Structure 1
Amino acid sequence: MPHLKSLLIDQGVSFSNYFVSVSLCCPSRSTTLRGQYSHNTHVETNGGTNGGFQTAYTLGLEQSTIGTWLHSAGYRTAMIGKYLNGYPGGVSDTYIPPGWDEWDSASKGNPYSEFNYTLNENGKLVAYGKQSQDYGTDVYTSKATSFITQSAKEHKPFFTYLAVYAPHQPATPAPRDQHLFPDVKAPHTPSYNEADTSDKPAYIHERPLLSAQAQTRIDQLYRKRLQSLQAVDRAIATLYTTLQKTNQLNTTYIVFTSDNGFHLGQHRLPAGKQTAYEEDIHLPLVVRGPGVPAGKTVDQITGNIDLAPSFADMAGVKPASFVDGRSFLPLVHGNMPTTWRQSYLVEHWLQQNSAHPQTNLGLQESDDPDQETDISGSKAAKIVIPEYHAIRTKDYLYVEYSTGEKELYNLKTDPAELSSLAATAGPLLLKSLSERLATLKSCKMDTCRSMEDQPAP
């Protein structure tokens, strides 16, 4: 992604320790909008009674988001692309949540495939087909470009939340990119197809090694993911140029990140995103904007609960009082606060389904490959990751599962998380981590920040 590197990374600040608290689409996106851990949004999964758009809608979460905060402060606001999983199930296909002046999000069809979907464009349903000009990433980029240009004409500040689907499965590339990288293979990191998983929880150590067939599928998906990201890279250049042409580049913050990570063969898992391991929770975050130094790196621990309060800070707006996160804008400008986070909470729940199945569930995504097939490729077994809660510090990852299993990794000496120390670590360290985790997994607002700021065990 050369434009990402030259226009954002080389001209901005990169965060080396940025994490998502739940590595799953809808919980993470709800956190992005609200600045809360998922145990406080109560959007814990992608659907059912404890997740998805329906839960966010029923609980009224949309009544106070970064969209409403900035809209109330006079900003033109745009939500373009993927919203919350299950949108707009149970409500109107033309439903627009509060706070958004521009709304372009799919309400029908299969937007994950990048073709054959219907957008709710400000209350009007517009169908897109299978022609090259209908390719999703390009359409969303065009919408964002028009919105930015119109904001400049009206001399109004703006906030654009551009959420493309790529590289989500099926990771469909733009037609022009579908033959790129013909020989690329997924990186064989130290934990790829891990030889000894005896220290891992049962859902992993009971799995056989990846078959040759499974590894071929991993390579194919990795290739498609890279191909699909080329349109995202071009989108960065397009938006950058638009800001230049409208004389807004020097007064606009550009923030680049994602809502979840992804593993591809690590720890014998074919492809997916819901573990507490580095591949899933440790993401890129890049910020470019006014007064931001070029090519710098911030090492402090930051997370997706910080996005909404940081956007508010950039706009000079006070976030809602319920926010658990904090603004990372001082770090961007090189101003280290007196205290800062030493621990970050990571969580995972199982989807709870009602005894009375809902109809009209809205747009749903398919399971990740490691949830729908076993290693040999049959439909005989699903990988079920137990509910867990975890702490990520600069040095450690500590995980407690609902099964009673635990994991502990020293990331300084074992960055690939190959050897769990849960059975051999000193009791004082384990007790300290467990007590901190117990507080964090039920924290709210100031209690989250004060506990996170305590020196790491």
Structure 2
Amino acid sequence: MAGSRNVLVVAFVSATSTRRAKLVDHRSTNARGARSMKTSLQRCGMNSTILFVLAALGVGLLLGAGCGRQDQEAPVPTYRLVDPSLRASSPTATPIVTRSQPSVNAPPAEATPIPAATIQDDTRYVLAAPAKALIFSGDARIGNDGRLTVNAGIPPPLREASHLLFVAKVKQAGAWHDLEPVLLPVGTASQQKRTLAVAFSGPSGLTPGTVKANVVAYEVDMHARRRWKSRPIPIARRAFLQFAFGILEPAQPQGAVRFSIEACENDRCDTIFDEVLTPVRGKILGWQERRLPLDGLRGRTPAFVFTTEVVAQRKGTFSLPVWANPTIYRPAPAPPQQPNVILLSIDTLRADHLTSYGYRYNTAPFIDEQFGKGGVVFDSCVAAATTTTPSHMTMFTSLQPEAHYLKTGLEVLSPGITTVAQILRAAGVETAAVTEDGWLGIRHGFGRGFNVYVENKSANIMAPTGQVDVTLKKAAQWLTLNADKRFFLFLHTFQVHSPYAPPQRYAGLFQPGTDSAASVPPPHVLEMADYDREIRYTDDELRKFFGTMRALGLNKNTVFIIVSDHGEEFLEHGHMEHGAQNYEETTHVPLLVRGPGIAEGRRVKVNVGHIDILPTVLDLFGIQVPVYANGKSLLPLLRGDSAPGLIRALEERPLFTESLSPFAMGPGHALLPFDRPAYSVRVGNTKLHRYKTPGGFRYELYNLARDPGEQHNLWPQRDSNAEALAELLNQYEAVSAAARSLAMHAQVAGRPEEEPEKQTTHLDPEQEEKLRALGYLH
């Protein structure tokens, strides 16, 4: 980057947002930037669509002589203002320690929880957020007057509030309906019972009777004007402030809010941002993204004052405004050989149905071209579990499910266990995720460490389908705004998951044949064909996403990883779908990697697993792997090294899989009893299963080199090596408990974390409905 002439500011005014920004001493800089914006963006290879996205979002993009950090310089976060140490009452303002050399120690995660807020299923860290709690969930009754009345208990976090905003929804005739929010003073609550009788008015069309109801309460500050002040912060050359702001959805009908920022030093305060956000009736406004150059403050040490003010100050008017992720960046040399990383998890994708793994149909030509031929394929990646939640948290923590303890989808990750996103964020890496909710709900701990965590929810909860097109579109929008930074982006799609519903245009692909006894293939064969079509659809959407990456210059400096959490059964061993058996159709998942510095056309034969994802991602960023991680970095193999020591260690280690579903699915998706958990262990080509029985355990032993379909159980002819594997399974829970203890007592923000009780969480109504339709709940 070369000087202020490369600072671009996109001016934007809409019907919903009025800007009166007085960017200190920036008027001439902004004019030059606006005049050169189109030329600069086109020089970076951005097409008119990318230009439109930037303009529509009203965001300035900091660009240098090239894009995608080709000029070896990138903005790095020096101060994240949501960090508790930067509050005005804190003793010091500590800058982020960015990592530019490999093999540094993993930075500690933040000890003090950072508040977060959600708008349109997009959750971000914020300067402050109102307390919020679910206060009622269950059966309630709509009276003859069309009103719903519930006696809502007030939990301790909300008892000090002056007012509470109650937001309710009810389910009737198979659909959820939002009721009118109700604002009440807490002082009217029964002091003994700590309850409030809340009466809600519903939309027309609701009939009297019993309904399922869900009520959430928000703390409301009735003051029209609120301020947040940072500690004094030194401003470096070419620094800029990036942030988002918005109004929480229940308060948007209350009207406009003014958002302003001042830079204050001594007795002088300069307004650097001033904008009114006006919600539109019938439309929810999402986060508003902004980026402000701070050249006019260079060399000064101002405190930043963030102010919100309700515009129409009528009696009883309130709002819930929030500031998200205000961060001060400065340009710095890009760390050598440390690319960005995108991790894409395609839920339920079994490896043997991909072109790159020898499938008979060409289900994924783009993945085969870019990853199979243009990257590294791991022939044998072992899933940590056969369900979504435990496998993904193993990817995030490098701990087995029995150690991190997110096993059934109802648990919450212990605060003493650190995720890959927390480690990366603490090291100055930009972090974001776009998921399709389900078992990856943010309440379980998956959002920790992500500055942005988007949950792309199905429009029809009762018939959830993967939305890979929408998910990748949202990911592309985030990339457009953050292409100049070092980032880690996690993506997840249910597109391949049942119910298999590929777009109609794929109906002609992969037509199944019939045997001589039937004119129509059996149902499970027809379902498998739709499953394969879902894979091709996902492959096609991924091709489009790579087009955006190329337009942004990210294909040259981004390592892309494709993995799956588990596979899928189609009656190979009598079951459908996944969750209750550990055969290869559910435990053998794809792992493919491409990008700068990654070998092309290499296949790795040795067994790897989900536990290796965190160490590999950290190694790509030059961050040392935590001592408690169960896995190993695969980076030497990705670079094409022979790595005999690593190969030997991988060959000798056991890899475990857990099946934790409370039921199995037979032909026709009929529910079958299943006594969980089931475990399996693999060393080399030898694999041992252990299933619970009324009298103890049933074991199955297979040699996968000779019997890849696991049809011939060798347990009756077992030898001492097989007995040793059985002992590993017998000790698995105890060893996992020790691993959990090690992780819990690792240094977290400079102090050892004590073991808390294992926590569980409730499911909100939409999440419960989606998981039920996906087949996880019955």
Asked whether the two chains share a fold, i.e. TM above 0.5, the reply is yes
Give the Å deviation of 1:212.
Answer: 7.8
* Deviations 1:94-148, CA, capped at 9 Å, x for gaps: x993321222204675569456xxxxxxxxxxxxxxxxxxx72111111111122
The 1-side partners of 2:452 and 2:724 are apart by 47
Match of 1:165 in 2: 494
Give the Å deviation of 1:238.
Answer: 2.2
Match of 1:299 in 2: 605
Match of 1:443 in 2: 735
Match of 2:511 in 1: 183
Give the Å deviation of 1:385.
Answer: 5.5
> What is the TM-score of this pair, normalised by structure 2?
0.44
Q: Is 1:412 equivalent to 2:702 in the alignment?
A: no
Identity of aligned residues (%): 22
Give the Å deviation of 1:415.
Answer: 1.8
SS in structure 1 opposite 2:679? strand
* Deviations 1:362-385, CA, capped at 9 Å, x for gaps: xxxxx8xx52xx54x495x52425
Q: CA contact under 8 A between 2:387 and 2:578: conserved in structure 1?
A: no
For residues 219 and 344 of structure 1, do their structure 2 counterparts lie closer, same or farther at Cα, with a shift above 3 Å needed? same
For residues 234 and 242 of structure 1, do their structure 2 counterparts lie closer, same or farther at Cα, with a shift above 3 Å needed? same
Match of 1:389 in 2: 679
Match of 2:451 in 1: 101
Match of 2:524 in 1: 218
Match of 2:649 in 1: 340
Q: Is 1:323 equivalent to 2:612 in the alignment?
A: no
SS in structure 2 opposite 1:382? strand
What amino acid is aligned across from residue 728 of structure 2 in structure 1? R
The 2-side partners of 1:112 and 1:327 are apart by 41
For residues 111 and 105 of structure 1, do their structure 2 counterparts lie closer, same or farther at Cα, with a shift above 3 Å needed? farther
Match of 2:660 in 1: 349
What amino acid is aligned across from residue 674 of structure 2 in structure 1? V
What amino acid is aligned across from residue 724 of structure 2 in structure 1? S
Partner of residue 415 from structure 2, selected from 21, 45, 60: 60
Partner of residue 269 from structure 1, selected from 575, 581, 585: 575
Q: CA contact under 8 A between 2:510 and 2:532: conserved in structure 1?
A: no
Match of 2:119 in 1: none
The 2-side partners of 1:410 and 1:98 are apart by 40
The 1-side partners of 2:546 and 2:616 are apart by 21
SS in structure 2 opposite 1:244? helix
What amino acid is aligned across from residue 420 of structure 1 in structure 2? N
For residues 60 and 415 of structure 1, do their structure 2 counterparts lie closer, same or farther at Cα, with a shift above 3 Å needed? same
Match of 2:726 in 1: 434
The 1-side partners of 2:620 and 2:424 are apart by 10
What amino acid is aligned across from residue 624 of structure 2 in structure 1? K
Match of 1:73 in 2: 427
Which 5+ residue runs of structure 1 have no aligned equivalent? 45-50, 116-134, 189-210, 352-366, 449-457
Give the Å deviation of 1:88.
Answer: 5.6
* Deviations 1:62-94, CA, capped at 9 Å, x for gaps: x721111112222221111234617367x9xxx
CA RMSD of aligned residues (A): 3.1
Match of 1:421 in 2: 714
The 1-side partners of 2:434 and 2:462 are apart by 14
Q: CA contact under 8 A between 1:69 and 1:319: conserved in structure 2?
A: no
Q: CA contact under 8 A between 1:35 and 1:324: conserved in structure 2?
A: yes
What amino acid is aligned across from residue 395 of structure 1 in structure 2? N
Structure holding more strand per residue: 2
The 1-side partners of 2:661 and 2:463 are apart by 26
Give the Å deviation of 1:21.
Answer: 1.9
Q: CA contact under 8 A between 1:145 and 1:242: conserved in structure 2?
A: yes
Q: CA contact under 8 A between 2:581 and 2:678: conserved in structure 1?
A: no
Q: CA contact under 8 A between 2:580 and 2:661: conserved in structure 1?
A: no
Give the Å deviation of 1:268.
Answer: 2.5
The 1-side partners of 2:681 and 2:446 are apart by 36
Q: Is 1:314 equivalent to 2:620 in the alignment?
A: yes
* Deviations 1:24-55, CA, capped at 9 Å, x for gaps: 111111111111100101112xxxxxx21x41
Report which structure shows greater RCO (CA 8 Å, sep ≥6).
Answer: 1
Match of 1:145 in 2: 476
* Deviations 1:412-440, CA, capped at 9 Å, x for gaps: 222211111111223x2332222333344
The 2-side partners of 1:242 and 1:169 are apart by 28
Which 5+ residue runs of structure 2 have no aligned equivalent? 1-363, 741-778
The 2-side partners of 1:185 and 1:255 are apart by 34
Match of 2:550 in 1: 244
SS in structure 1 opposite 2:412? helix
Q: CA contact under 8 A between 1:30 and 1:84: conserved in structure 2?
A: no
Give the Å deviation of 1:173.
Answer: 1.5
SS in structure 2 opposite 1:442? helix
SS in structure 1 opposite 2:574? coil
Match of 2:76 in 1: none
SS in structure 2 opposite 1:416? coil
What amino acid is aligned across from residue 102 of structure 1 in structure 2? V
Runs of 4+ in structure 1 deviating by more than 4 angstroms, as ranges, are 107-115, 211-215, 444-448
Partner of residue 136 from structure 1, selected from 462, 467, 472: 467
Q: CA contact under 8 A between 1:114 and 1:137: conserved in structure 2?
A: no
The 1-side partners of 2:450 and 2:661 are apart by 31
The 1-side partners of 2:728 and 2:510 are apart by 47
Structure holding more helix per residue: 1
What amino acid is aligned across from residue 448 of structure 2 in structure 1? P
Match of 2:439 in 1: 85
